[in-house]
Chains A and B, each alone.
Chain A
Amino acid sequence: MNTDETALRRDLQGARFKVGVLRKRWELVRIRFPLVWFRIPKPRDKAGPPHFLLRVDATDYPGALTAQLWDARDNKALAPELRPSGAAGPLLAFSNWSQCLYHPIDRLARSHWPGHPEPWPAGSDINDFLETVHGFIHDPTYLQSSAPAASAELPAEPLETDPPAAA
Chain B
Amino acid sequence: MADVIIEKRELLFAVEGVKAPQSLLLEADLTVAGLLERVRHATGRHDLVEALIEDEETALAHHELVFERITIEDFRLIHVASCGEITVTVAFNGVKQRTFKPSATMAKIIRWAMHEFGIEGDPSEFQLKVGDAVLPPGEHLGQIAHGAKEVRLALVMKIRPQG
A and B part of one assembly:
yes
Q: How far is the CA of A18 from the CA of B75 in the complex (A)?
A: 11
A residues 112-141 near B (Cβ < 8 Å) are 112-113, 116-117, 131, 135, 138-140
Q: How far is the CA of A139 from the CA of B122 in the complex (A)?
A: 10
In terms of DSSP, what is the predominant structure of the interface of chain B?
Answer: loop
0/1 per residue, B122-163, Cβ < 8 Å to A? Answer: 101100000010001010000000000000000000101111
Number of residue pairs spanning A and B whose beta carbons lie under 8 angstroms apart: 46
Q: How far is the CA of A116 from the CA of B162 in the complex (A)?
A: 11
* Closest B residue, CB atoms, query A112: B163
Point out the residues of chain A lying under 8 angstroms from B77, CB to CB. 19
Q: How far is the CA of A44 from the CA of B2 in the complex (A)?
A: 50
**Contacts A23-B138, A113-B161 given: A15-B75 contact, CB under 8 Å?**
no
In terms of DSSP, what is the predominant structure of the interface of chain A?
Answer: loop
- Tell me if B12 counts as interface (CB < 8 A to partner A): yes
* Closest B residue, CB atoms, query A20: B138
Chain A interface (Cβ < 8 Å from any Cβ of B): 14-16, 18-19, 22-25, 92, 95, 97, 102-104, 112-113, 116-117, 131, 135, 138-140
